[in-house]
C-alpha cells in the first residue's frame, strides 16, 4: 500500500513538473500572437489610417479606410461620434485639397497630446481591470512607433478584449487628449 502511494505521488509530481514547464509556453505563444495582432492594428491606425498635416502631425483618421479593412463595429461608431464632437477630420481628401491650395492648417487641427489627460483617460480605461500599469513606458513606445512593444505592454497588464476594440479605445483617448 505504501509502495502504491509512493508511485502515485511520483507520477503526480512528474506531471506537475511537466505541466508547469509547458503551460507558460502555450500562454507565451498566445500572448505573442495577440500582441502581434494588436501591434498590426495599432500601426495601421496610427500610420496608414491617420490623416497627417504637412508637418506629419495627426489631424484626423480616415474612417472609410478603417471600415474597409475591419468593417463596422460599435467601437468604430463610438469613435466617429467622438471625432465629430471635437471636430476631427475624417476625410483624407479635405487635407489633400487644403495642402494643394496652400492653405494654412489652423492650430486647433494640429494634434498635440496633453500627457496628464492621456494618463487620466488611460487610467480610467484600465481601472476596470484593477491593475497597475506603467503608463510612461507604454506612452513612450507609442511615441517611438514601437507598436509591438506597446501591444505586449498592454497584454501583460491584463487588458482583455478584441485587439480592434483596444486600438479604437487608444485612438479615442488620443483624440480626446489632443490640445
- CA angle, corner 106, sides to 117 and 98, nearest 5? 125
Task: Give the residue ranges of DSSP H helices in the chain.
Answer: 2-43, 63-70, 74-86, 92-100, 115-127, 135-143, 147-156, 163-176
User: Of 19-33, 39-53, 134-148, 165-179, where does mean pLDDT reach its minimum?
Assistant: 19-33
CB 30 within 8 A of CB 163: no
Predicted confidence at residue 73, as pLDDT, reads 77
Predicted confidence at residue 60, as pLDDT, reads 74
Check whether 110 has a pLDDT greater than 50.
no
List pLDDT tens digits, range 88-103. 666 666 666 665 655 5
Q: How confident is the model at residue 139 (pLDDT cuts 50, 70, 90)?
A: confident
The residue among 90 and 155 whose pLDDT is bigger is 155
Q: What average pLDDT does the chain have? A: 69
Predicted confidence at residue 100, as pLDDT, reads 61
Query: What is the distance between the alpha carbons of residues 97 and 80, in angstroms, rounded to a whole number?
Result: 22
Q: 50: which DSSP letter?
A: E
Residue 49 phi/psi, 5-degree rounding, is -85, -15
What is the biggest distance separating any 2 CA atoms in the chain, rounded to whole angstroms?
92
Q: How confident is the model at residue 108 (pLDDT cuts 50, 70, 90)?
A: very low
* Arithmetic mean of pLDDT, 20-35: 64
C-alpha radius of gyration, the chain, whole number: 22
List pLDDT tens digits, range 5-15. 666 666 665 66
Handedness of CA 46, 47, 48, 53 (dihedral sign): positive
Amino acid at each position: 500500500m505504501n509502495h502504491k502511494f509512493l508511485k502515485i505521488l511520483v507520477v503526480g509530481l512528474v506531471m506537475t513538473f511537466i505541466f508547469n514547464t509547458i503551460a507558460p509556453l502555450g500562454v507565451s505563444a498566445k500572448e505573442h500572437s495577440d500582441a502581434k495582432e494588436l501591434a498590426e492594428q495599432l500601426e495601421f491606425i496610427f500610420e496608414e489610417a491617420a490623416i497627417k498635416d504637412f508637418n506629419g502631425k495627426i489631424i484626423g483618421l480616415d474612417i472609410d479606410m478603417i471600415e474597409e479593412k475591419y468593417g463596422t463595429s460599435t467601437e468604430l461608431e463610438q469613435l466617429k461620434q467622438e471625432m465629430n464632437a471635437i471636430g476631427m477630420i475624417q476625410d483624407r481628401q479635405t487635407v489633400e485639397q487644403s495642402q494643394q491650395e496652400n492653405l494654412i492648417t489652423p492650430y486647433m487641427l494640429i494634434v498635440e497630446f496633453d500627457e496628464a489627460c492621456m494618463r487620466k483617460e488611460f487610467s480610467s480605461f484600465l481601472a476596470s481591470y484593477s491593475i497597475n500599469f506603467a503608463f510612461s513606458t507604454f506612452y513612450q513606445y507609442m511615441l517611438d512607433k514601437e507598436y509591438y512593444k506597446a501591444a505586449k505592454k498592454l497584454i501583460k497588464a491584463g487588458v482583455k478584449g478584441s485587439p480592434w476594440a483596444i486600438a479604437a479605445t487608444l485612438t479615442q483617448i488620443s483624440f480626446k487628449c489632443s490640445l
